[in-house]
Amino acid sequence: MDVRFRPPKKSDEKQWAKVRFLAEHGFFFQKVYIKKGSVWQRERYPENLEQAKEFVVQFRDQALPEYKLFQPRENVG
């Protein structure tokens, strides 16, 4: 997850469902932008699962590709 990610409470199952859904679709709380006129502005992440479903459709071109998500780490030492 991106440094901007703030996890919901452990007991908040609805919010965790939203987080899982977003992550499964390539959204790890990275910056997402929307063009308004000639200006690009950061878009806020959705507040609930229903909004998340619309969000992944609208911003699918900004989802992180699978190959960027699961790169193995180099052995250190």
pTM for the model: 0.78
Read off the amino acid at residue 60: R
Within a domain: residue 19? yes
**More reliable by pLDDT, 77 or 12:** 12
pLDDT one-digit tens code per residue, 8-40:
999 999 999 999 999 999 999 899 999 999 999
Question: Is residue 62 a contact partner of residue 33, using CB atoms and an 8 Å limit?
Answer: yes
Alpha helices in the chain (DSSP H): 13-24, 49-58, 66-69
Within a domain: residue 56? yes
Within a domain: residue 75? no
Euclidean distance between CA atoms 19 and 36, whole angstroms: 26
Within a domain: residue 2? no
Euclidean distance between CA atoms 1 and 10, whole angstroms: 17
Domain residues for the domain of 56 are: 13-62
Within a domain: residue 28? yes
Within a domain: residue 41? yes
Give the chain's domain count.
Answer: 1
Within a domain: residue 21? yes
Within a domain: residue 76? no
